[in-house]
Structure 1
Amino acid sequence: MPETGLTKGSIVYVCFLILGLGTLLPWNFFITAESYWQYKFRNPDPGNTTIPIGKTELQNLYTPMQVCFSQIPNFIFLFINALYSDKIPQRIRMVVSLTLMIIFFTITTALTKVNTDSWQTGFFALTIIIIFIMNSSGAIFQGGLFGIAGMFPSKYMTAVVSGQALGGVFASGARIVSLAAGADDVTSAFIYFMIAVGVMLLTMASYLYMTSTDFFKHYTNCQTEDVNEKKAEQNEAGFVAEQIRVFKQIWPLALSCMGVFFVTLAVFPVICVRIQSTYENEAWRDTYFQPVVTFLLFNIGDYLGRQVAGLIAWPGKESRLIPLFVVLRVVFIPLFLMCNNNLEAVPDYFEDDGFYIAIMLLFSISNGYLSSLCMMFGPRLVEEKDAEKAGSLMAAFLGLGLLMGGVSSFAVATIK
């Protein structure tokens, strides 16, 4: 046993929670600050008749481009991390990737105070480059974190996935508070992004502290005792064969995790942000409906689902019901399309806000619950020495699901 007990274990649990929060913070803050990006890419010269009335081309392009250039590097680097995580020391991967995230989020924060009206196209390109770099770094950090959590008891994986959901709740709540304060888009975005930078600095401090504890070293050192044996196995069987061997043991849950996020990203946020409120209250309809129902409610439901998974882990890790439940989530795609989208091709069967809220709750809770079961059980299906590799592979398939969902959202978004 480590020198510890409950106290040290609880502190490490909180650190995993904070680290989980930090993994998806850039994604959550970028998608939730929708009104800021719409302001940045608006028509800066309303008197210019050469620019069409309504949304500009950059405003229409931003959300799908953001999803695309978030999920492509996320997928690529999650898989690179899964395949080559043992080639670069864990600490270097985690610290360097988190440092890059902090640096580029700080640049994003500083740019809120820069007038970009005269170079909107250049600012758009710069923003996409920052999104690409930050999500590449975030994928390395996330893949490493899932690999580390895979070495610990299941509740620590629950802490990571719950922290990810809390990051979304935090981002959505902070955005609503900034809107309620009545600040303009630029000022509220500056404050909003500054909060994100502070949380990411806390994430770095949590990682550095956690890795210094005897509790952490106990569980990670238990796995390093077999390093030479694993290298011998890889030399004999081949590097690719080693990956395939681990994948064969976890593939039902890996594909299930991919399926969960494929459905989620197919409609969230691209389709959900087009749904309009039917209530007459102008403040609710125009200002708070999307931040509260689409973003805050989704993240609260996602968090609740992940918490419930830590308390009631049913179905079990070898159950075939998990893939079945994942497939059933496809029904959410037509359900969201039948909400108040004002589409010609799809009738608005669920116009009232109450229907959208109910569908969003089921959608978000199932996302959190099923994804948590997959991530918790995956590393438990392999031998202890392969737990980190299994955790990284699970994260890679999570990234593949996000990429596939993001790409499919372009097709769904073209429905008129």
Structure 2
Amino acid sequence: MYKLQNCSDQAGPVGQADSDLRDFFESYVSIASAVPSVLCLIGNFLLVNKVPASVRIQSSLFVMLAVFLVITVLVKVDTSAWTTRFFALTIGCVAVVSSASTVFTSSIFGLSSCFPMRNLQALISGQAMGGTISAVASVIDLAAAANVTDSALAYFLTADIFIIICIMMYLLLPRLEYSRYYMSSQEESPSLATVPPDSSMEDEAEPEGTTNTSFLAKSTGIPPLRPILQKTALLGFSLFYIFFISIIIFPSISSNIESVSKSSGSPWSTKYFAPLTSFLLYNFADWCGRQITAWIQMPGPKSKLLPALVLLRTIFLPLFIFSNYQPRAQIQTVVFNQDVYPVVFTALLGLSNGYLGTLVIIYGPKIMPKELAEAAGVVMTFYLMLGLAVGSAFSVLIVHLI
């Protein structure tokens, strides 16, 4: 984004176009990351029983590594003469990385659905911890770094290193006896996922050769979607709506809320307000919410209170809109004109996102038969990404209406 910032002060239509790219950068990135992810999730579901999870996971990691290496090289390239093309290239990289990340995440999530629930909860908490660490690094960099280019280079090099570590850790995973036990059971179960309930007796009556052929054919089929959708419908809607509301607000709206005392020129109100009250606070609250599910898992998967709490999060929209969001073009009224309000709202938004989102995600695969757990995990990830995709589109609309 700093490359767009450098070119947004030009006069005329070019400068105005660059300014638009800068002002709505978060919204464009949200769309570029969410929409392709939905398509990749559909493809990943179709490949659950056709392509091994190990192939999907490793290939997605290598794609992410390749794209991040390209981005790392571009950090030191002067793009001031081709800002629009650089923006398009950036959005393209975001789409590819997001697609690969979606395949990786949904495959890992589907695989972990065959492990005990505590492992699934730890996986989800780890995602939020990654966001928290990134936010902390951003604040430290903001305080200590002198050159934005060097900071960006450090960020992307760190990403490259961590992806390489992920590849190494995944290759190590099958060597652990604990994970090998559950992964071996997962490899045996997909074949059951596509066997119709009334076909077992017929298969047993077939000759040995034809039975094996039929069994292998079914093991590479598409998991039955209808029973998964039927059993996870309410949980799926809840997951969709949780992230629909969250992505509308964070980061498109929350990161543009300014301190009411910005004119004082203090570092808190100018330099650190958004990084601390938006990014760091949200990610930390989200991580705390996910951690709480390790000890408290209420309400249950069939409780009517769960979707009620999910729908109640709609109230966050007007709360953030009527905070000190800037710039405002349509709605000039600021109701919550003290800095404490967005702090409280962001903390509650992150906490509820982490707690309710984690509950719904871990409930989905666990209410399904074991042989459908991986496919159910992919379907739940689809609901999540669909919420992000639709929410990111709505975020652009709402930002233009404020």
TM-score w.r.t. the length of structure 1 is 0.86
Alpha-carbon distance in 1 for matches of 2:121, 2:40: 23
Equivalent residue for 1:143? 106
Residue identity in the other structure for 1:369 = Y
Query: Deviation of residue 407 (structure 1)?
Result: 0.9
Q: CA deviation at 1:369?
A: 0.2
Give the secondary-structure state (helix, strand or coil) at the position aligned to 2:292.
Answer: helix
* Contact 1:97/1:140 (8 A) holds in 2: yes
Extract unaligned runs of 5+ from structure 1.
1-36
Task: Give the conservation status (yes or no) of the 8 Å contact 2:56–2:104.
Answer: yes
What's the CA shift for 1:384? 1.1
Give the Cα separation in 1 of the matches to 2:99 and 2:8: 35
Answer yes or no: is 1:210 the counterpart of 2:173: yes
Whether 1:260 aligns to 2:242 is: yes
Give the structure 2 partner of residue 312 of structure 1. 296
Say if 1:175 and 1:192, in contact at 8 Å, map to a contact too.
Answer: no
Structure 1 position 241, deviation (Å): 8.0
| Residues 253, 46 of structure 1: alpha-carbon distance in 2 compared, 3 angstrom cutoff | closer
Match in the other structure for 1:123: 86
Mapped pair 1:251 → 2:237: no
What residue in structure 1 maps to residue 52 of structure 2? 89
Aligned counterpart for 2:381 among listed residues 395, 398, 408: 395
1:83 offset after TM fit, Å? Answer: 3.1
1:117-160 CA-partner distances (Å, limit 9, x unpaired): 11112211111111111111011001101101110111111111
Alpha-carbon distance, 1:242 to partner: 1.1
1:349 counterpart (335, 357, 381): 335
1:233 is displaced (CA, Å) by 2.6
Aligned 8 A contact 2:128 2:284 in 1: yes
* Structure with the greater alpha carbon radius of gyration: 2
* Deviates further, 82-91 or 54-63: 54-63
The alignment-based identity, stated in percent, is 30
Equivalent residue in structure 2 for 1:57, among 10, 20, 34: 20
Tell me, what secondary structure is at the counterpart of 2:232? helix
Match of 2:214 in 1: none
> 1:414 and 1:179 mapped to 2: Cα distance?
29
| CA distance in structure 1 between the partners assigned to 2:315 and 2:242 by the alignment | 12
Residues 303 and 368 in structure 1, CA contact (< 8 A), matched pair in contact too: yes
1:346-396 deviations in Å (ceiling 9; x for gaps): 521111111110111111000000000011111110111111111111111
Q: Alpha-carbon deviation of 1:218?
A: 1.0
Please list every run of 5 or more consecutive structure 2 residues that lacks an aligned counterpart in the other structure. 201-217
Q: CA deviation at 1:281?
A: 4.5
Q: Kindly state the Cα deviation for residue 53 of structure 1 after the two structures are TM-superposed.
A: 7.4
Match of 2:30 among 49, 67, 73: 67
- AA matched with 2:248: A
In structure 1, what residue type is equivalent to 2:314?
V
Letter aligned with residue 393 of structure 2? V
TM-aligned CA distance change 1:181 to 1:329, over 3 Å: same
Equivalent pair of 2:237/2:383 in contact (CA under 8 Å)? yes
* Correspondence for 1:376: 362
**Secondary structure, aligned partner of 2:323:** coil
Tell me if 1:332 matches 2:300.
no
C-alpha distance 243-112 of structure 1, shift in aligned 2 (>3 A): same
Task: Identify the match of residue 113 of structure 1 among 76, 79, 91.
Answer: 76
Shift in Å, 1:294: 0.6
Contact 1:101 1:137 in 2 (8 A): yes
